Structure 1
Amino acid sequence: MANLAQHYYRVGTSTFSTDVIPTNAPELDEFIAKHRKKIEPWLTATCQAEHLNLLLGSGFTAAIGHIAGSPAAGMDKITLDTKFDAEIDAHATETAKRMGRGAPNIEDQFRSALAVLAGSEILNLSDGEDLRDKLNKQLKLFLESLLETERGIESAKGEKADRADSVLQSFLLSFASRTASRERLHVFTTNYDRLLEYGCDLAGIRTIDRFVGALNPVFRASRVDADYHYNPPGIRGEPRFMEGVLRLTKLHGSLDWNYDARRRSIKRIGLPFGAPKTHTDIPSEPVDTVMIYPNPAKDFETTYYPYAELFRDFAASVCRPNAVLFVYGYGFGDDHINRIILDMLAIPSTHIVVAARSMSDRLESFLQKTRDAQTTLIVGKHFTDLETLTRHYLPKPALDFISTRLAELLKRRPSLVDDGKGNEAGQKDTASSA
């Protein structure tokens, strides 16, 4: 696959590959119309699966941020400026290589640094306090960069703001607008920001997660499959499922999740979307409080909790017959996630749809372990541009419902069918008869 063209798709039995996309409007419209006939029906069919799941990575935030004119938070390596920098960087490089990620990023450095911090505190090393101070500083800067991305999206003005909001809502509704009697869409994300929650609020989508409470919701290990129902007028004892509901799981945590040491619980604090740097709920010492990834600096329980529960939810949702996983903006750099997806594909009736900006080494390595019949692949800047993808290639559940009703109506009333000349069937063509 290394020699694929820049723009490529494989949907069902149809494949297409090109390095050139038309630039002028008439040719581009014709190009889109031609390929929409192949891509959109296939994606619509896959999204009608019994169990539909959506996995979003940092590319999703970057795409919305690009439309809004707000660059996404960087994940590049940093300099901690501590005595242990060489050892931390070496360990981060090794773990990133072992996970198939390639070059290490800031997450790898944080994980390695937190492991060193835990060891230095066990050994009571004098340099441990300096490492803690430097880590707190860098973690706080990282949180502020995430909030800056949120703030840029939320404060966008004019046409950029309208486009970003429209694309965000349309993308989510393309998947969430399932028939209420079907199982809910389950959205998984590796992102720490709250863009998904922000988009659900804009679209009026209700989210279900493991947090329970009103003021400071608390993460609960008990999963009772809570849902939203309503009672239709005049009907008793027959509640119906509400539309516009999805389940949300943030696999790596969130910047508004805090660990309460006194109550030994995970809480979601009321940090506004795009909060300013001076907001009082931004912790000054995030090493001990912020839950944004498995943190070996905490005790054994919090190292695996709540992350074990989150990944259990992921495996339980995707690893079952007739499940479909749609992947957007995820770079296949997390081995623990890839392993679950491959386990899912061991079930013959499952399917994965991958929308990727380009064919990376990590994606190619992952695809080599899968079967073509179980994978749909959409690659390239044109096909995966979020605005183009949402407008032209993703399913439109509301339109599909109306189109189905229209087709049924036309079967019963054939006189309404147009004969291609602007006349209804059975209507006399006066121009030809004259």
Structure 2
Amino acid sequence: MTTSQPTTFGQQLFFSPESGAWKSLRPDVTGEADDAKRQQILSEAAAAREELKAVLLSSLQMQHVVALAGSGTSLGEINGPSMWTLWDHCVNSNPDTGKDERKPTEQANAVIAEIGYETAVEQENIEALLSRCDAYLQIKKSEQVEKFVSVSKGVILKECSAFLDGADDSKLASHRTFLHRLSRRRVRDSRMKLFTTNYDLCFERAAGKQGLVLLDGFSFTQPRQFDPRFFLYDIVRRPSTGDEVGNPLEGVFHLYKLHGSVNWDQSSSGDIEIKTDPTPETACLIYPAKGKYQQSYVQPHLELISQYLAALREPNTCLIVSGFGFNDDHLSEPIVAAVRTNPHLRLIIVNPSADDLTSRSKENNRYWDALYNLAKQGEDVWLINATFSEFAEMIPDLKSLTPAQRLTRDIKSLVKPT
């Protein structure tokens, strides 16, 4: 009989490729009776926090800072929908009533039976279910399945939009902190690039509340239409003295929504505009399905994927991945390839289950295994076992350092340990 391995979910840890070991950042010492040992544990944790802070500080000062945000960044306090929530609302007649009281609708039961979806094998996975529906419709016409897919898309669109309606702005505090600290770049460095698979508007709303400016590939006039040329634009501040030389405006970053957005509407002519309430049929989204890879190669997603691939090949780049489970092959494979082929890439992975996912090789996917092995081999891959909100607070504020602190930091970076 095998015993289950204890989980480290909820504990703040980080894995250093230099030491090849996990280090606790905020250990629980309430059960430690030995005072000397307790002090030693706390001292080691304080040293680990300083080490991580130094790593993050140097990362933010790299020429290119790129972030990839997955659905995990919209969970937690803001209470965005998880993949399970989407299944619950698409399939069950009584969603949000708990696992023991779920009752699938008659339509869902009929569709599951028709397409041969085995819940016991493939679990309650909305992506797998819609993928099976798409595959079934490729070989056989079924009004029942088509209607279920259409209704499910409407539910997904609604669930990814409604949770922000009337939401308290304080629930976006983590998004605001994350954007504020990553967008405070030096003038000579490139703008921070944020890629996200999320449909929702959390980052857009947080940027607005924080007074930041995002360049998302859409025009600045009404109607706002998508044109990739706008990614090449920047915003500068012109002095009032009449001098033609301008300075880059602070707090500007690029936003790339790889799978579309709840406010993207695509017309029959192919034009993509920002609209408040697009219909499920016209919304420009890559809905959860295994066919996301193929759908990524049509506009505007092709342009966004191209930007993503190009960003990973840039020298002197720090890539921060948060809330992403490495379940999308078309996004995960390029990261592994970049770590192996780009010698100037630093990868920081943030996940509240990072330790569990890397220590249980039979339960996770091959990308976690590959990246963890690369980290253990000494590649510049750092793993942080923390939630998105916890990580946002860990990010150092570049402009919060006093001149004396900056001088001390620079001296320490020049002094080699004996």
Query: Do these two structures clear the TM 0.5 threshold for a shared fold by scoring above it?
Result: yes
Q: Map of 1:81-230 to 2, 5 A cutoff?
A: 81=108, 85-86=112-113, 88=115, 90=117, 105-117=125-137, 120=140, 125=141, 127-128=142-143, 130-151=144-165, 154-156=166-168, 162=170, 164-222=171-229, 225-230=232-237
**Residue 313, structure 1, aligned to residue 317, structure 2:** no
DSSP 3-state at the match of 1:40: helix
Partner Cα separation in structure 2 for residue 55 and residue 301 of structure 1: 19
Give, in whole Å, the separation in 1 of the partners of 2:172 and 2:382. 27
The Cα shift of 1:207 comes to 0.5
CA distance in 2: counterparts of 1:173 and 1:326, whole angstroms:
15
| Equivalent residue letter for 1:49 | M
The alignment-based identity, stated in percent, is 20
* 8 Å contact kept, 1:171–1:390: yes
- Could you say which residue in structure 1 is the equivalent of 2:75? 62
Paired residues for 1:394-433 under 5 Å: 394-400=395-401, 402-404=403-405
Shift of 1:190: 0.8
SS in 1 for 2:374: coil
Between 2-11 and 213-222, the greater mean CA deviation after superposition: 2-11
Who wins on radius of gyration, i.e. which is larger? 1
Aligned mates of 2:6, 2:383 — CA distance in 1: 12
CA distance in 1, matches of 2:14, 2:45: 13
Among 279, 285, 290, which residue is 2:283 paired with? 290
The Cα of 1:213 is off from its aligned counterpart by: 4.5
User: What amino acid sits opposite 2:177 in the alignment?
Assistant: S
Would you say the 8 A contact 2:296–2:302 is kept in 1?
Answer: no
Which blocks of at least 5 consecutive residues in structure 1 are unaligned? 95-101, 272-280, 409-434
Gaps of 5+ in 2: 31-37, 92-106, 358-363, 410-418
User: Post-superposition shift, 1:292?
Assistant: 1.5
| Residue in structure 2 matched with residue 242 of structure 1 by the alignment | 249
Instruction: Give deviations 1:168-227, integer Å, cap 9, x for gaps.
Output: 211211211111331000001111111111111111110012212433322224466111
Residues 308 and 21 (structure 1 numbering): CA distance in 2 closer, same or farther, change over 3 Å? same
2:391 is matched with which residue? 389
Deviations 1:37-95 (A, max 9, x none): 111111111121111100111111113425xxx7657244754637653575659999x
Offset of residue 319 of structure 1: 1.5
Aligned residues: 364
Q: Does 1:374 align with 2:379?
A: yes
Partner deviation per Cα, 1:216-241 (whole Å, 9 max, x = no partner) = 32222446611111112436221211
Q: Could you tell which deviates more after superposition, 81-90 or 32-41?
A: 81-90
Question: SS where residue 374 of structure 1 aligns?
Answer: coil
Are 2:266 and 2:272, in contact at CA under 8 Å, matched by a contact in 1? Answer: yes
How has the CA–CA distance of structure 1 residues 314 and 23 changed in structure 2, closer, same or farther, with 3 Å as cutoff?
same
* Structure 1 residue 264 corresponds to structure 2 residue 284: no
1:72–1:149 contact (8 Å) kept in structure 2 = no
Change (3 A) 1:109 1:217: farther
TM-score (norm. length: structure 1): 0.72
Q: 1:14-46 CA distances to partner (integer Å, 9 max, x unpaired)? A: 44445983276x989877644321111111111
Partners of 2:120 and 2:301 in 1: how far apart?
23
**Amino acid across the alignment from 2:28:** P
The one-letter amino acid paired with 1:265 is: D
Partner of residue 348, structure 1: 343
Give me the whole-angstrom Cα distance separating, in 2, the residues matched to 1:316 and 1:148.
Answer: 34
Contact 1:22 1:31 in 2 (8 A): no
Instruction: Tell me whether 216-225 or 247-256 shows the greater mean CA deviation.
Output: 216-225
Contact 2:14–2:24 at 8 Å: present in 1 too?
Answer: no
Q: Is the 8 A contact 2:176 2:210 kept in 1?
A: yes
Q: Is the 1:92–1:108 contact (alpha carbons within 8 Å) kept by the matching residues of 2?
A: no
Q: Is the 8 A contact 1:324 1:353 kept in 2?
A: yes
Is contact 1:354-1:375 (8 Å) kept? no
- Residue 432 of structure 1 corresponds to none
For the structure 1 residues 199 and 326, does the alpha-carbon distance in structure 2 shift closer, same or farther, using more than 3 Å as the test?
same
Distance 2:209 2:151 in 1: 33
CA separation of 1:113 and 1:225: change in aligned 2, threshold 3 A: same
Deviation sequence 1:331-374 (CA, Å, 0-9, x none): 01111101111222111111100111113213532425635433
Give the conservation status (yes or no) of the 8 Å contact 1:231–1:239.
yes
Counterpart in 2 of 1:422? none
Q: What root-mean-square deviation, in Å, do the aligned CA atoms of Structure 1 and Structure 2 show? A: 3.7
